[in-house]
Structures are given as structure tokens and as C-alpha cells.
């Protein structure tokens, strides 16, 4: 799964697993969320959206089950 850096004031990076239909979203504040059951179309629309934050709020937030991921360990 490849992390993609996006231009957004809300999101930092995202990744998508086509096999499991899981979308990983890393926010600018460093929090990481995993969203389940996200279709490939939603993933592509998010990548193409002129405003990633607005698209997230309109089409993803509150519409898919999710899990907040623990912060990455610093070495």
C-alpha cells in the first residue's frame, strides 16, 4: 500500500487498499484513521477533489466505520 501525499489544509497523506477496501487518512495534526468499506470510487473521487477536506466532510466523515490508529513510535 502506497502512501500518497496530498495538497490539503486538512489531510497530509492517504493510502488505499483495494483488496480490503480500507482507506488510511493522516491528518495535518498527525492523527491517523483507518476507514472500512470505502469503495474505489470514493478513493478516486477524494484524490481528484479540489478540496480534500470538504470532500472528506461531505462523503466520508460519519458514513464509514473507522478506527483511530495509535501514534507511530518515535525512534
Q: pLDDT averaged over consecutive 10-residue blocks of the chain (75 residues)? A: 90 96 96 97 97 97 96 63
C-alpha 24/C-alpha 16 separation (Å) is 6
10 Å CB burial of residue 16 (0-12, 13-18, 19+) is: buried
Cell numbers at 2, concatenated? 502506497
Rounded to 5°, the CA angle 39-35-69 comes to: 155
- Is there a domain that residue 46 lies in? yes
pTM of this structure: 0.90
**Residue 52 resides in a domain:** yes
Domain count, the chain: 1
- In this prediction, residue 2 carries a pLDDT of 79
> For residue 17, what are the domain limits?
4-69
Q: Is residue 43 part of a domain?
A: yes
Amino acid at each position: 500500500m502506497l502512501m500518497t501525499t496530498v495538497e490539503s489544509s486538512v489531510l497530509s497523506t492517504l493510502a488505499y487498499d483495494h483488496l480490503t477496501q480500507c482507506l488510511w487518512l493522516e491528518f495535518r495534526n498527525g492523527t491517523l484513521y483507518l476507514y472500512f468499506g470505502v469503495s474505489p470510487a470514493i478513493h478516486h473521487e477524494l484524490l481528484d477533489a479540489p478540496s480534500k477536506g470538504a470532500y472528506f466532510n461531505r462523503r466520508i466523515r460519519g458514513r464509514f466505520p473507522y478506527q483511530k490508529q495509535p501514534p507511530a513510535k518515535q525512534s
